[in-house]
């Protein structure tokens, strides 16, 4: 076996063992943000290296992301999500209401700022003072989160039988949407110890979780056709009968 095949086989065996020992858990809403730098010939994406001592995926390169917080839909924004993005987020069954669609987009921005120190926001007056907690970096910079630059790339649900299950929406945004950087977020004792911009297809991306690689392949295909568009098909990865299925959201 090649190293790649061996790694995939080990992951499959681990997943099967995990599935044997845990009951059904309802997946929780989550969001991931893939930031893309298209200033060069080959697009680059931002990945963070996880600390070697964390329980989940130690030492692996990941994209910022996490589950939706109950108050994400209440956060004031500099601009609403686009109607096209809201439409894409509403696809599938059951339909996603507007408040939940906003929560998903806002969660992606919040997680990116928390984990990388990179914030997608826009200067605004008045409502900035209401931001607190995880949103304090935005308030300190006089910004409100701005989800208007986000595109939906894919949706994926963790297979049944896992300790943690997520219904994840994978968003992307151009690096030009980054308007503020919080210093000191990345360091030797943080969850992410390093940030790296890597070219699509490069070695660090080969060691990603298989589902994340599926999403990256979708992103690569869309970038190859030109500027990102909201009317492109959005794949939905899920598991049925123990096998991964890929549908198109409609």
Local structure of residue 169 (DSSP, 8 states): E
Strands 65-67 and 61-62: unpaired
| pLDDT at residue 2 in the model | 40
At residue 221, does pLDDT exceed 90?
Answer: yes
Region 58-85: what's the mean pLDDT? 93
Which domains, ranges and CATH numbers included, belong to the chain?
3-248 (3.90.79.10)
At residue 101, does pLDDT exceed 70?
Answer: yes
Average pLDDT over all residues of the chain: 87
- Token pair listed for 82: 């686009």
Q: What phi-psi label fits residue 92: left (phi over 0), alpha (psi between -120 and 50 degrees) or beta?
A: left
pTM for the model:
0.87
User: Contact, 86 vs 151, CB < 8 A?
Assistant: no
Region 179-184: what's the mean pLDDT? 95
More confident residue, 241 or 84: 84
User: Contact, 37 vs 175, CB < 8 A?
Assistant: yes
Cis-peptide, bond into residue 72, ω within 30° of zero: no
Beta-carbon count within 10 A of 184 CB? 7
More confident residue, 129 or 81: 81
């Amino acid at each position: 076996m090649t190293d790649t095949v061996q790694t995939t086989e080990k992951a499959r065996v681990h997943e099967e063992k995990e599935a044997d020992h845990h009951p059904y858990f309802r997946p929780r809403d989550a969001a991931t943000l893939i930031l893309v730098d298209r200033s060069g010939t080959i697009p680059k994406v931002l990945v963070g290296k996880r600390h070697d001592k964390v329980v989940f995926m130690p030492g692996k390169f990941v994209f910022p992301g996490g589950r939706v917080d109950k108050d994400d839909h209440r956060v004031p924004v500099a601009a609403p999500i686009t109607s096209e993005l809201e439409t894409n987020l509403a696809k599938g069954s059951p339909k996603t209401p507007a408040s939940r669609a906003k929560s998903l987009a806002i969660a992606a921005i919040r997680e990116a700022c928390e984990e990388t120190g990179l914030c997608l926001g826009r200067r605004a007056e008045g409502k900035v003072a209401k931001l607190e907690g995880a949103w304090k970096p935005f308030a300190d910079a006089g910004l409100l989160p701005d989800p208007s630059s986000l595109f939906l790339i894919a949706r994926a649900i963790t297979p049944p039988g896992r300790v943690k299950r997520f219904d994840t929406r994978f968003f992307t945004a151009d690096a030009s949407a980054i308007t503020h950087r919080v210093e000191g977020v990345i360091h030797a004792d943080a969850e992410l110890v390093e940030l790296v911009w890597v070219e699509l297809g490069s070695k660090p991306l080969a060691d990603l979780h298989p589902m994340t690689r599926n999403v990256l392949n979708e992103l690569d295909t869309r970038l190859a056709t030109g500027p990102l568009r909201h009317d492109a098909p959005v794949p939905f990865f899920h598991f049925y009968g123990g096998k991964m299925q890929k549908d198109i959201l409609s």
